[in-house]
């Protein structure tokens, strides 16, 4: 408003400024009060209301800026980076080992001379030999380097133990009188239960860390018979020399109780079929290759009751197992089989096996879990069509396979079951639905059990160790013996802890490398719980509680994987600085430009008006 009258005057004034100025000068020398030039002077003091108004708007912008920045701040839940790094360093430098306790018991019926020094000597020999067999480097999931070996010698009424026997769960001297049993000792199951009742009856065995692996040497005048039981003990029946006894004992300790029945106790990741969420889905399928020939069905309920329920329970510390089954039709295999005249059957060799599974036509992945993070293991019974029936598997050494089946690590197993009607020429009859008989079902489930064991890295059957003198290895109703489950728990504990630490380490590196990535609360919580579970697993493992440490290590791994694969991390929606810039500048830039320009203009005007007033005051003062 004030500007408008000034502009025309300024324009006319511009033309006449050189004339006015000298006039002004003259007038200021002559008469300052008479010449009042509104361009240069004003009578009243300039008000500050306009300035305050503009400055308040500018000031409110500045005031709001921290609120704006706070509102667009990226929410990052705090992650315990130091704890993650220390866990990773700790696990990578010392592999997780769980302590094992061993016990050697020498029972002699006659009054053989036993002494303390003999017990001590035996302990030293056994320890030396075990250390020599296992090597100096601790393998992940093995018993480590600290073994406790206790030696108990019983002869008649005498009972001698070595000094470092440890406490709890030791052989109760004098409880069993072996001479009374006589020939019954040849029945392995009876002896197994007998020894188990003796070893378990001790109250000290119930507490934590009380698991001891025992080998009982029963001295009798017979040929040596070595049997490994279903629980945590083995026994040798017969007359054995001391040196040979030591080597037998240590062989059993190392091969069976430490390594779980395999020569090498190291972990191979392809034999750890547990999914990232700690679950395994066993998916059983019955495949009718050509339903025009014959159709088969099965009573899966009975397999579930007989075989699977105890197995699921036995493997509970290692994985949560769920079971499903289906029957499929029109599922030919994709490899070729040759007709063999001598055997009157079609022969598949092991070279054909990698191409046996026809992924295009076998729609095995129909379970809900197929898309998730659980591991799905497929167990297939393949019933060949009439064109390729009977189908047998020939091994590379020329022998025919006893099981007619194979496994693929991390995938599952296949059994070829030949229909009995394939030998008869029944082409004219229309196909009827047969059901697998209970004997067939039992045979098939036994082979499946062997395959499950192989997939978990154990021996498929109670395989005889030729040349090492083992007479028998007992099989368990639950599919796994207790010492096998211990070995599996140890391996899985170590594997899960290493996997958890690696995942958390990757997550922390990722989060630290992307400072503008949103980290939700849930991820922070999962990381915290995962670290807690890992700590719990480590403390449990140091105490020697195998199943509890397996459970907590599995939880730690599951939580770490959940945190790493959280959907908010997977989606690429990071709030980059360019994004922030692109959203806010189209509004704020023009507005702030106007406000700042207005403030500057107002400030300049105020200064100008003040200068005019001061000029007038000076002129008025002079005159």
Distance between CA atoms of 99 and 542, rounded to whole angstroms? 7
Place of tokens 């049997």: 227
Q: Which stretch binds other proteins (CB under 8 A): 109-117, 384-392, 403-411, 529-537?
A: 403-411
Q: Which is nearer to other proteins, 306 or 543 (CB)?
A: 306
Q: Which is nearer to other proteins, 65 or 402 (CB)?
A: 402
- Cβ atoms of 556 and 533 closer than 8 Å: yes
In sequence order, what are the residues at sequence separation of 6 or more whose Cβ sits closer than 8 angstroms to the Cβ of residue 169?
101, 199, 202, 204, 205, 210, 211, 212
When binding is defined by CB under 8 A, the residue of 178, 346, 356, 382 that contacts other proteins is 356
Q: Which is nearer to other proteins, 2 or 368 (CB)?
A: 368
In the complex, least distance from residue 523 CB atom to other proteins, rounded to whole angstroms? 15
- Cβ atoms of 252 and 239 closer than 8 Å: no
DSSP state letters, 122-168? HHHHHHHHHHHHH-SSPPTTS--S-EEEEEEEEETTEEEE-TT--SS
- Cβ atoms of 41 and 27 closer than 8 Å: no
In the complex, least distance from residue 10 CB atom to other proteins, rounded to whole angstroms? 30
Q: Is 408 in a helix, a strand, or coil?
A: strand
Token pair belonging to 558: 């599951």
Is residue 472 a contact point for other proteins (CB under 8 A)?
A: no
- Cβ atoms of 498 and 554 closer than 8 Å: no
Site for other proteins, residues 228 to 247, rule: CB under 8 A: none
Q: Which stretch binds other proteins (CB under 8 A): 10-18, 58-66, 290-298, 395-403?
A: 395-403
List phi, psi (to 5°) of 537: -65, -40
Distances (CA, A) of 259 to 172, 246, 473, 490, 537: 27, 18, 15, 10, 21
Is residue 268 a contact point for other proteins (CB under 8 A)?
A: yes
Number of Cβ within 10 Å of residue 205's Cβ equals: 15
Token pair belonging to 354: 């990698």
Q: Which is nearer to other proteins, 336 or 584 (CB)?
A: 336
Distances (CA, A) of 310 to 151, 304, 481: 34, 9, 12
Is residue 145 a contact point for other proteins (CB under 8 A)?
A: no
Q: In what order do the strands lie in the sheet with 472-473?
A: 158-161, 147-155, 100-108, 212-219, 233-237, 225-228, 472-473
Is residue 324 a contact point for other proteins (CB under 8 A)?
A: yes
Q: Which is nearer to other proteins, 329 or 574 (CB)?
A: 574
In the complex, least distance from residue 405 CB atom to other proteins, rounded to whole angstroms? 4
In the complex, least distance from residue 215 CB atom to other proteins, rounded to whole angstroms? 22
When binding is defined by CB under 8 A, the residue of 120, 193, 196, 304 that contacts other proteins is 304
Site for other proteins, residues 415 to 454, rule: CB under 8 A: 415, 438, 442-443, 445-447, 449-451, 453-454
When binding is defined by CB under 8 A, the residue of 19, 31, 270, 340 that contacts other proteins is 270
Distance between CA atoms of 175 and 81, rounded to whole angstroms? 56
Q: Which is nearer to other proteins, 159 or 475 (CB)?
A: 475
Radius of gyration of the chain (CA): 43
Distances (CA, A) of 410 to 417, 448, 516: 22, 15, 38
When binding is defined by CB under 8 A, the residue of 477, 539, 568, 608 that contacts other proteins is 477
Q: Is 448 in a helix, a strand, or coil?
A: helix
Q: Is 58 in a helix, a strand, or coil?
A: helix
**Pairing assessment for the beta strands 100-108 and 212-219 based on DSSP bridges:** parallel
Number of Cβ within 10 Å of residue 313's Cβ equals: 11
Q: Which is nearer to other proteins, 504 or 533 (CB)?
A: 504
Token pair belonging to 365: 């992945």
Looking at residue 78, the DSSP 8-state letter turns out to be -
When binding is defined by CB under 8 A, the residue of 20, 401, 421, 426 that contacts other proteins is 401
Looking at residue 529, the DSSP 8-state letter turns out to be H
Q: Which is nearer to other proteins, 335 or 592 (CB)?
A: 335
Is residue 503 a contact point for other proteins (CB under 8 A)?
A: yes
- Cβ atoms of 232 and 111 closer than 8 Å: no
> Smallest Cα–Cα separation from 284: which of 358, 359, 382?
382
Is residue 463 a contact point for other proteins (CB under 8 A)?
A: yes
Q: Which stretch binds other proteins (CB under 8 A): 46-54, 73-81, 501-509, 595-603?
A: 501-509
Site for other proteins, residues 246 to 265, rule: CB under 8 A: 264
Q: Which stretch binds other proteins (CB under 8 A): 2-10, 111-119, 143-151, 493-501?
A: 493-501
Is residue 32 a contact point for other proteins (CB under 8 A)?
A: no
Is residue 521 a contact point for other proteins (CB under 8 A)?
A: no
Is residue 307 a contact point for other proteins (CB under 8 A)?
A: yes
**105 to 144: interface string for other proteins, x by CB under 8 A:** ----------------------------------xx----
Is residue 506 a contact point for other proteins (CB under 8 A)?
A: yes
When binding is defined by CB under 8 A, the residue of 208, 350, 472, 568 that contacts other proteins is 350
Q: Which stretch binds other proteins (CB under 8 A): 79-87, 116-124, 233-241, 469-477?
A: 469-477
Is residue 326 a contact point for other proteins (CB under 8 A)?
A: no
Is residue 331 a contact point for other proteins (CB under 8 A)?
A: no
Q: Which is nearer to other proteins, 566 or 617 (CB)?
A: 566
When binding is defined by CB under 8 A, the residue of 306, 518, 598, 611 that contacts other proteins is 306
Quote the distance between the C-alpha of residue 71 and its chain's center: 37
**551 to 580: interface string for other proteins, x by CB under 8 A:** -------------x----------------
Token pair belonging to 335: 């490899």
Is residue 286 a contact point for other proteins (CB under 8 A)?
A: no
Instruction: Give the interface size with other proteins as a residue count (CB under 8 A).
Output: 77
Is residue 319 a contact point for other proteins (CB under 8 A)?
A: no
């Amino acid at each position: 408003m004030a500007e408008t009258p000034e502009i025309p005057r300024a324009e006319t004034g511009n033309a006449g400024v050189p004339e006015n100025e000298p006039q002004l000068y003259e007038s200021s020398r002559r008469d300052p009060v008479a010449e009042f030039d509104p361009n240069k002077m004003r009578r009243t003091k300039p008000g500050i209301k306009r300035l305050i108004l503009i400055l308040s708007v500018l000031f409110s912008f500045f005031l709001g800026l921290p609120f704006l920045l706070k509102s667009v701040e990226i929410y990052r839940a705090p992650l315990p980076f130091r704890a993650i790094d220390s866990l990773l360093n700790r696990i990578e430098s010392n592999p997780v080992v769980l302590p094992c306790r061993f016990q050697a018991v020498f029972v002699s019926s006659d009054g053989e001379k036993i002494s303390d020094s003999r017990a001590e000597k035996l302990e030293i020999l056994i320890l030396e030999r075990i250390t020599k067999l296992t090597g100096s480097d601790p393998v992940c999931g093995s018993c480590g380097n600290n073994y406790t070996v206790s030696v108990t010698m019983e002869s008649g009424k005498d009972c001698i133990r070595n000094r470092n026997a440890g406490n709890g769960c030791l052989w109760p001297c004098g409880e069993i009188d072996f001479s009374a049993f006589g020939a019954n000792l040849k029945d392995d199951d009876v002896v197994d239960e007998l020894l188990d009742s003796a070893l378990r009856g001790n109250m000290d065995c119930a507490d934590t860390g009380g698991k001891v692996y025992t080998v009982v040497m029963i001295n009798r005048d017979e040929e040596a018979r070595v049997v490994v039981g279903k629980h945590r003990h083995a026994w040798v029946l017969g007359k054995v020399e001391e040196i040979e006894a030591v080597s037998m004992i240590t062989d059993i300790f190392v091969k069976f109780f430490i390594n779980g029945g395999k020569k090498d106790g190291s972990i191979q990741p392809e034999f750890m079929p547990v999914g990232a969420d700690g679950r395994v889905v066993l998916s059983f399928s019955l495949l009718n290759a050509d339903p025009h020939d014959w159709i088969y069905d099965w009573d899966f309920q009975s397999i579930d009751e007989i075989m699977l329920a105890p197995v699921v329970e036995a493997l509970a510390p290692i994985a949560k197992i769920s079971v499903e089954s289906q029957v499929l039709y029109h599922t030919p295999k994709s490899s070729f089989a040759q007709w063999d005249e001598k055997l009157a059957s079609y022969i598949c060799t092991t070279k054909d096996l990698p191409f046996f599974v026809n992924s295009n036509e076998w729609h095995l992945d129909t379970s809900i879990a197929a898309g998730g993070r659980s591991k799905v293991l497929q167990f297939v019974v393949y019933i060949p069509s009439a064109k390729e029936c009977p189908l047998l598997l020939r091994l590379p050494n020329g022998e025919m396979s006893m099981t007619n089946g194979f496994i693929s690590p991390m995938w599952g197993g296949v059994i070829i079951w030949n229909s009995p009607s394939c030998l008869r020429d029944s082409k004219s009859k229309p196909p009827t639905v047969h059901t697998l008989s209970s004997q067939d079902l039992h045979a098939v489930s036994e082979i499946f059990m062997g395959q499950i064991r192989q997939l978990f890295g154990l021996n498929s059957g109670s395989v005889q160790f030729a040349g090492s003198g083992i007479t028998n290895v007992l099989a368990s109703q639950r599919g796994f013996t207790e010492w096998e489950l211990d070995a599996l728990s140890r391996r899985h504990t170590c594997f899960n802890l290493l996997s958890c630490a690696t995942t958390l380490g990757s997550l922390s590196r990722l989060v630290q490398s992307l400072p503008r990535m949103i980290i939700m609360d849930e991820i922070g919580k999962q990381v915290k719980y995962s670290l807690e579970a890992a700590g719990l697993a480590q403390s449990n493992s140091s105490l020697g509680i195998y199943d509890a440490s397996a459970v907590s290590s599995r939880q730690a791994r599951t939580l770490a994987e959940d945190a790493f694969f959280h959907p908010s991390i997977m989606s690429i929606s990071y709030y980059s600085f360019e994004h922030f810039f692109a959203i806010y500048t189209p509004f704020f830039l023009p507005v702030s430009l106007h406000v700042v320009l207005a403030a500057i203009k107002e400030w300049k005007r105020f200064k100008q008006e003040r200068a005019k007033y001061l000029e007038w005051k000076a002129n008025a003062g002079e005159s």
